[in-house]
A = this chain, B = another copy of it.
Amino acid sequence: MMRPMNGAGTSAGRGLATARGRIDKRKAILDAAFAVFARQGYAQAGVDVIAAEAGVAKATVYNHFGDKETLLRQAITAQADRALARNMATLERLTDDGGELCATLEEVGHSLLRCYCDDSSWALRRLLAAELNQFPDLLDIVQGRAADRVAQALADRLARLMLAGRLRAADPAQAAEQFGALLTGPMEARSRLGTREVADTELRDVTRAAVHTFLRAFGPDAV
């Protein structure tokens, strides 16, 4: 159940020297694992391949993670954390800076959309959908760690804007839900579920349209 100690374990008291003693094998394995899982699917992915791609012996993988299943969970968790961080950083910028709200929304929306359309983000969502039946808890990991929090944070920001009179008063959660839908919804078809590169100008177009529609619906009462 416990891996034989590494990162924050045995050596923590004395310093984390042992942890990154050599290179960060652990991180290398997690990255390789996610890449291979995303490319081949859980069942098709060979632990040998993951080890090779991480530049590591197969036994090392088992030393760190015990079995394939926990490897999958850890890899997905790491990826979800990374995605969350990117999204939250972007959301910081959604504030009432006194400028054109339209411009701010477009800038933040565009940034969010770029996160959403990142290769690894698409890979994460596809992998999640793929293995949902076998590992239902993955959904809690990802949604609880990333998706829900982003929606929550977006709703918070929108609430501030409503209070400041920059948006009409409405349910912030619903506004966030719909803003997100307007942004990401069109990308499913356009990017072919993430298998086609979308030009940045296309992202701009979608964002502009989304913001336009959003402001028509949620803009201040005095149009």
A43 interface residue (CB < 8 Å to B): yes
The CA-CA distance from A42 to B130 in the complex, in Å, is: 10
A28 interface residue (CB < 8 Å to B): no
The CA-CA distance from A155 to B129 in the complex, in Å, is: 29
On whether A41 and B40 interact (CB within 8 A), knowing A128-B193, A186-B181, A189-B151, the answer reads no
Oligomer copy total: 2
Q: Name the B residues within 8 Å of A209 (CB-CB).
A: 174, 178
Q: Name the B residues within 8 Å of A185 (CB-CB).
A: 177-178, 180-182, 184-185
A178 B174 Cβ-Cβ under 8 A? no
Query: Which residues in window 173-209 of A have CB below 8 A to B?
Result: 174, 177-178, 180-182, 184-186, 189, 192-193, 195, 209
A143 B41 Cβ-Cβ under 8 A? no
A92 interface residue (CB < 8 Å to B): no
| Among A134, A177, A181: residue with most chain B CB under 10 A | A181
The CA-CA distance from A167 to B39 in the complex, in Å, is: 44
Q: Name the B residues within 8 Å of A42 (CB-CB).
A: 41
A114 interface residue (CB < 8 Å to B): no
A contact residues vs B (CB 8 Å cutoff)? 38-44, 125-126, 128-134, 136, 139, 143, 147-148, 151, 174, 177-178, 180-182, 184-186, 189, 192-193, 195, 209-210, 212-213, 216-218
Which 6 A-B pairs have CB atoms at the shortest separation, nearest pair first? A181-B185, A130-B130, A43-B43, A216-B217, A129-B129, A213-B217
